[in-house]
A = this chain, B = another copy of it.
C-alpha cells in the first residue's frame, strides 16, 4: 500500500510540514480550523494541501494518528495492571476525556464509529476498535459485562457520554459520574 515509487523529497517535506501545522491549528481552532489557513501557515498553496489530504477528514485523521495509537496503547496498559472491568471503565474514561479535551479529536472519533456500512472503515477506526475489543472481550470472559454488548456500541456510548459531559461544563468534569451511571444504572 506504500508508494511504488517513494515520495519525492519536496513532497514529503510539504506533507510533514502540513501535518505539523495541522496539529497546531486543530488544537487551536478545533475541527473547523480553516484549511486554506493551514496551507498558508505551512507555506504551501492550498492546492498542495488538497492534493495530500483530499478531505478535512483525511487531514484530521493523519494529524491524530499518534494520539489515537497512544490511546490504544493505554488500553493494553490498563489491561495489564487492572482487573478487566476496571480496565474497561478506566479506558473509557480516558477516551471520553480525550474526546472532550483534545480539540478536533471529537469529530474524528465520531466518524470513526459511525455506521459507514463496512466501506470506509478509517484507519483510526481500526485502531480504536481493536483496543476496545480486547478490553470488552476480557470483561465478558470475566463475567462483569453483559455478553450482548458490542465493542463498537460501547465506543458510541462513550462518544455520547462525552457529548453529554461537554454540554454540562465543556470540560469533562462530569465524565466519571456519567460513566458510573452507565455501568450501574439509574436505579437506586
Question: Which A positions have Cβ atoms within 8 angstroms of B?
Answer: 110, 113-115, 143-147, 149, 153, 156-157, 159-165, 167-170, 174, 178, 181-188
Cross-chain contact A115 with B168 (CB below 8 angstroms) = yes
Cross-chain contact B149 with A186 (CB below 8 angstroms) = yes
Note all chain B residues with C-beta closer than 8 A to A149. Answer: 181, 186
Q: How many copies does the complex hold?
A: 2
Main secondary structure of the interface of A (DSSP, over half): helix
Note all chain B residues with C-beta closer than 8 A to A143. Answer: 188
Cross-chain contact A160 with B164 (CB below 8 angstroms) = yes
- Residue from B146, B153, B165 within 8 A of A187 (CB atoms): B146
Give the docked Cα–Cα distance between A183 and B188 (Å): 10
| A144-B187 contact, Cβ under 8 Å, with A159-B163, A164-B156 | yes
| A182-B181 contact, Cβ under 8 Å, with A115-B169, A159-B167 | yes
Shortest CB distance A119–B (Å)? 15
Shortest CB distance A83–B (Å)? 14
Give the docked Cα–Cα distance between A112 and B114 (Å): 25
Shortest CB distance A155–B (Å)? 9
Shortest CB distance A84–B (Å)? 12
| A182-B182 contact, Cβ under 8 Å, with A113-B167, A153-B168, A167-B159 | yes
